[in-house]
Every structure is written in C-alpha cells, then in structure tokens.
Structure 1
Amino acid sequence: MRKFLLVSALVSILVPSGWARADSASAISGKMEDLPSGEAIYRHICQSCHMPDGQGAVGAGAQIPALAHNSHLQVASYPATVILNGYGAMPWFAGLLNDKQIADVVDYIRTHFGNNYKDKLKPSEVALMRPHLTAEEQ
C-alpha cells in the first residue's frame, strides 16, 4: 500500500509538469486586415496588457513590461522579434499580423509613450525576421 501511494504521488507530480508550459509563448492566429495603423493595432491588440498609456501591468502571475520610456525599443528589431515570436507570457502574432502591420505598430510604440526613436522599421525588414509558419499556425 505504501508503494502504491508513493507511485501515485510521484505520478501526480511529474505528469502535469510535462503539460504545463506557462513560460512558453503561444500563438495568436487569424488575420487582422482591417487595422489600418500602428495606433489602431496597439489599441485593438496591445493595450489590453500594456495599458493605454504603455505603462504595463502586474497581476495574475504575470508582469507585463512597460513600453513607456523603454530603452529596449532603441533597436527596432527587438520589439518586432517579440511581436513575431512571442516572449514569456506574451503570445506570438506572426500568424495574425502582416509585415506592414508589425512595422506600423513597432513604429507607433517607438514614437509614443515617451519614446522618441525616429528610425522607421520597414515591412521588408520584418519579412526577413518572420518565422516560417506551418499551415496550422497561419
């Protein structure tokens, strides 16, 4: 009986840990063709976590980083890569947003919320960073 309880306890500990992937980014798929600007994309998708003022948030076991006054945005490829591939609790949007939309939202967050990075990200640069998606991921 003792052996059975020990095995049961071990199984209940080990099996769920194989399924839990809280630290890995998940995919958001579909298409958002009708969002015409970086500001519209931010307001529709990003602000629910990063807040309308870009201040980020803490709660429910996650810390959403502030975009306001964020020196990580100095290099435009950084936020583009995070948007394309996800990071931590942030899902990836490569299957949802096209290259122009990603460039537009990156340019928006890099020129708002106290950020003043004027160099623009080109959709062709986003295309080079884009991961190759399977048909199921698109």
Structure 2
Amino acid sequence: MKQYLMAAGLGLTLLSPQLASAQDFVQSGSSDMLPQQDGQSLFNAVCSGCHMADGRGAEGAGHYPPLANSEFVESPEAVATWIINGYRAMPPLGGIMDDAQVAEVVNYVRHNLGNDYEGQMTAEDVAALRE
C-alpha cells in the first residue's frame, strides 16, 4: 500500500502544470554539457529536482533550501559560485554548464520564483569567477 501511495504521489507530481516538461530533462549523448540554453529549461533540468519547480525547497532525505523569495539569490556572484563549485550536498555543475548557461540560471533564479533583483549576470562575469 505504501508503495502504491508513493507511486500515485509521484504520478500526480509529474502531472503538475508547475513542473518541467519531459523535454527539459533531455541530455545529449554526444556531449558532457547540458543541451538546454535558457535559464528556465536549465533550472527545470538540473535544479528543480531538489529545489522544486517553484523554488520552494524541500525537506526529507536532506535539506534543500528554498530559492523562491530568497535573500541569498540577491548576490549573483554567490549563486554562480555555488552552481560552478557546488556547496555541501549540492554537486558542482560547472563541468556540465558553460559560462552562458550558468549566467542564464543565475538570472532566471534572481528574476523569477518570487524574486525580482536588479541586474543581469553575463557569461563574462561567470568566466571571471572561474579564474
């Protein structure tokens, strides 16, 4: 019964209109880099699994902090550094995202999910953080 309820819950979650579409999760077999280019698609493919599609975060097997309505994401450099290098249980993603992709995710998180911070991060800004 418990397995049935878990499967049903997962099914309902996957059908939720707030969640990413299946095409957001496709990764090319010919490259180590993610194929998605825009911030929302990258967020859906990589970040939403832990931070949830609406950015509310989650508790369970671990603590996944919210990105929605978050003061932390006010700093584009902090967000980009965590994406590139990882932090605690968050794996480093700098090896599967180029500078432009990291900038897109940073900008998506800072201007969506209930956040509305000023400024845009550029690929050049991310490249400087990698040095």
Partner residue in 1 for 2:56: 55
Report SS of the residue matched to 1:129.
helix
Partner residue in 2 for 1:71: 71
Dislocated runs of 4+, deviation >4 Å: none
Identify which of 5, 30, 33 aligns with 1:31.
Answer: 33
Alpha-carbon RMSD: 1.3
Gaps of 5+ in 1: 1-28, 132-138
* Paired AA for residue 125 in structure 1: D
* Paired AA for residue 40 in structure 2: E
Instruction: Count the aligned residue pairs.
Output: 101
2:112 matches 1:99? no
Q: TM-score, normalized by length of structure 2?
A: 0.74
* 1:109-128 superposed matches below 5 A: 109-128=109-128
Per-residue CA distance 1:60-118 (angstroms, 9 max, x = gap): 1x100000111011111010000001001000011100000000000000011110013
* 1:10-29 superposed matches below 5 A: none
How far off is 1:30 after superposition?
2.2
Q: TM-score, normalized by length of structure 1?
A: 0.70
Gaps of 5+ in 2: 1-30
Question: How many angstroms apart in 1 are the aligned matches of 2:127 and 2:87?
Answer: 19
